């Protein structure tokens, strides 16, 4: 395979960053190609040299976001063996990532597959890849009787992903503290407490 040439002054990355920021703050439909062009210092038509359409652009952002978060979670939990500590570290990292790091993964939470007709399958697959990380984090936990791991995962994801909408950088808690607090809410009851419920 031949490597695709790329010039030193390529602004593709700059373009992708601008698109990520706008999509995350204004939504997919709420962001125009002119917005993106202006934010990345180009003319609207120039974007089409890099991406075939607005849809392809948002898919690229989505893809980059998943890659970022998967890599981030991976390196944050690497080396930690205890499942409880893994979850704690993972949640802290994720809240940190969502609230601070990058607009990329905010796109994942804000842009729904149905928003991009014809690309639903790709986006759903990418999202599944992202959610699989949490499946792994939870799988190792010594769950108490009657605790549904799927429901637990969805609950955690829901709680964590909404933080981007209320998190206040000027507030008292840091993202890591929030993530740890979430973990503290959950870990104790789930792992150690025994319930008498026996419904399937």
Partner DNA sequence: GCATTAAACAAACGTTTGTTTGGTTATTGA
Partner DNA sequence: TCAATAACCAAACAAACGTTTGTTTAATGC
Binding region for DNA (CB under 7 A)? 5-12, 15, 31-34, 41-50, 52-55
Asked if 35 interacts with its own copies (CB under 8 A), we say no
CB of 161 to DNA, least distance (A): 25
> With respect to its own copies, which residue has the nearer C-beta, 1 or 200?
200
Q: Which does 161 bind (CB under 5 to 8 A by kind): its own copies, DNA, none?
A: its own copies
> With respect to DNA, which residue has the nearer C-beta, 64 or 190?
64
CB of 3 to its own copies, least distance (A): 39
Round to whole Å and give the CA distance between 23 and 139. Answer: 33
56's CB contacts (< 8 A; 6+ apart) are none
The 8-class DSSP code of residue 97 comes to I
129's CB contacts (< 8 A; 6+ apart) are 66, 70
Q: Which does 145 bind (CB under 5 to 8 A by kind): its own copies, DNA, none?
A: none
Asked if 63 interacts with its own copies (CB under 8 A), we say no
Asked if 29 interacts with its own copies (CB under 8 A), we say yes
CA 63 vs CA 42, 68, 78, 89, 191: distances in Å: 23, 9, 22, 24, 34
Q: Which of 38, 152, 174, 176 binds its own copies (CB under 8 A)?
A: 152
Determine the number of helices (DSSP H) and then strands (DSSP E) in the chain: 10, 0
135's CB contacts (< 8 A; 6+ apart) are 153
> With respect to DNA, which residue has the nearer C-beta, 7 or 78?
7
Q: Is 172 exposed, middle or buried (0-12, 13-18, 19+ CB in 10 A)?
A: exposed
CA 199 vs CA 148, 167, 196: distances in Å: 10, 37, 9
Site string for its own copies, 108-127 (x = CB under 8 A): ----x-xx------------
> With respect to its own copies, which residue has the nearer C-beta, 61 or 160?
160
Residues lying near its own copies in the complex (CB under 8 A) are found at 25-30, 112, 114-115, 147-148, 151-152, 154-163, 165-166, 173, 178, 181-182, 184-186, 188-190, 193, 195, 197
């Amino acid at each position: 395979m031949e490597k695709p040439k790329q010039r030193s002054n390529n602004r593709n990355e700059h373009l992708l960053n601008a698109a990520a920021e706008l999509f995350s703050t204004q939504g997919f439909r709420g962001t125009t190609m002119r917005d993106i062009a202006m934010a990345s210092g180009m003319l609207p038509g120039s974007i089409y040299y890099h991406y075939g359409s607005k849809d392809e652009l948002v898919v690229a952002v989505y893809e980059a976001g998943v890659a970022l978060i998967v890599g981030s979670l991976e390196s944050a939990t690497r080396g930690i063996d205890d499942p409880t500590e893994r979850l704690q570290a993972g949640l802290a990292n994720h809240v940190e990532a969502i609230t601070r790091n990058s607009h990329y993964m905010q796109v994942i939470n804000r842009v729904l597959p149905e928003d991009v007709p014809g690309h639903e399958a790709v986006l759903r697959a990418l999202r599944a890849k992202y959610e699989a990380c949490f499946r792994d984090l939870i799988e190792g936990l010594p769950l108490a009787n009657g605790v549904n791991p799927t429901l637990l995962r969805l609950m955690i994801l829901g709680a964590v992903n909404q933080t981007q909408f209320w998190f206040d950088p000027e507030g008292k808690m840091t993202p890591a503290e929030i993530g740890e607090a979430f973990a503290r809410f959950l870990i104790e009851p789930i792992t150690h407490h025994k319930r008498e419920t026996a419904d399937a």
